[in-house]
């Protein structure tokens, strides 16, 4: 069965990634600010469905492909680290734009909102990196069925990500107003997120783990 350390580890990684501005956060915040909390929550349901697709793929043994072709796994590992470092730079670079800055987006109905949330998550490179490169590092074949472990860890990630995103959706208006009045807080947030992403990239590059 999955160890407590693995659960805690993937929870910390999931928290660090969900708090880092990316496609999901930009989409959810923009919807919440321009179309209201309900639209943001419907969009979040689509994002959650995307997580379930990734979880199913992980449990089905997507990591086995990389076990058979180690060089492919190494390439994905390096590409994932490079993407995380790029996100880190985007967070700290001069002139960076806050994810909570209001952006004009057209209004859509519930079905379109759900579908766009789903597609945004499925095409989110950050989530692909999480499931392909980071999550397998917490799976220990010695503890039993790899598929079950992957599923449990995926559920932990989904609970963390959906909970935090829901909080972001319902507080987007208040946070946007606060940051617009106190730009110093925004600067701290950007550098903190940049450090988290850089740390994850270093962990990914220095890890010798291979998917089971």
pLDDT value of residue 211: 46
pLDDT at 101: 57
Which pLDDT belongs to residue 182? 66
Give residue 143's pLDDT.
79
Q: How far apart are CA 165 and CA 108, in angstroms?
A: 20
Q: What does the pLDDT profile of the chain (212 residues) look like in tens digits?
A: 778 888 999 999 899 888 877 778 878 888 887 788 898 899 999 999 999 998 888 777 665 655 565 676 677 667 767 777 777 777 677 766 555 555 566 677 889 899 988 988 888 878 887 887 788 888 877 777 777 888 899 999 999 999 999 998 888 867 666 655 666 666 676 677 677 778 777 776 776 544 44
Residues 6+ apart with CB under 8 A from 23: 120, 121, 123, 124, 126
Close Cβ partners of 111 (under 8 Å, ≥ 6 residues apart): none
One-character DSSP codes across the chain? ---HHHHHHHHHHHHHHHTS--HHHHHHHHHHHHH-HHHHHHHHHHHHHHHHHHHHHHHTTHHHHHHH-HHHHHHHHHHHHHHHHHHHHHHHSTTPPPTTS--------HHHHHHHHHHHHHT-HHHHHIIIIIGGGG--GGGS-HHHHHHHHHHHHHHHHHHHHHHHHHHHHHHHHHHHH-HHHHHHHHHHHHHHHHHHHHHHHH------
Residue whose structure tokens are 């559920």: 155
- Where exactly are the structural domains of the chain? 4-94+106-206
CA–CA gap between residue 136 and residue 130 (Å, rounded)? 9
pLDDT attached to residue 61: 65
Q: Do residues 2 and 155 lie in contact, with contact meaning Cβ atoms separated by under 8 Å?
A: no
pLDDT score recorded for residue 179: 59
Q: In a 3-state reduction of DSSP, which class is residue 93? A: coil
């Amino acid at each position: 069965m999955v160890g407590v350390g693995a659960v805690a580890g993937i929870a910390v990684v999931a928290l660090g990634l969900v708090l880092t501005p990316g496609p999901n956060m930009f989409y959810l915040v923009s919807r919440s600010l321009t179309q209201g909390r309900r639209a943001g929550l419907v969009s979040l349901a689509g994002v959650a469905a995307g997580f379930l697709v990734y979880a199913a793929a992980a449990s089905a043994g997507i990591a086995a492909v990389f076990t058979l072709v180690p060089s492919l796994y190494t390439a994905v590992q390096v590409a994932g680290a490079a993407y995380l470092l790029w996100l880190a730079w985007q967070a700290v670079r001069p002139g960076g734009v806050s994810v909570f800055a209001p952006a004009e987006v057209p209004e859509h109905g519930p079905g379109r909102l759900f579908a766009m949330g789903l597609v945004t998550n499925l095409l989110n490179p950050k989530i692909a990196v999480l499931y392909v490169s980071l999550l397998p590092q917490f799976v220990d074949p010695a503890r039993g069925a790899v598929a079950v472990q992957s599923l449990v860890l995926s559920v932990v990630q989904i609970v963390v990500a959906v909970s935090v995103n829901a909080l972001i959706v319902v507080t987007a208006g208040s946070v946007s107003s606060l940051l617009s009045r106190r730009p110093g807080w925004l600067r701290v947030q950007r550098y903190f997120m940049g450090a988290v992403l850089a740390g994850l990239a270093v962990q990914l590059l220095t890890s010798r783990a291979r998917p089971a």
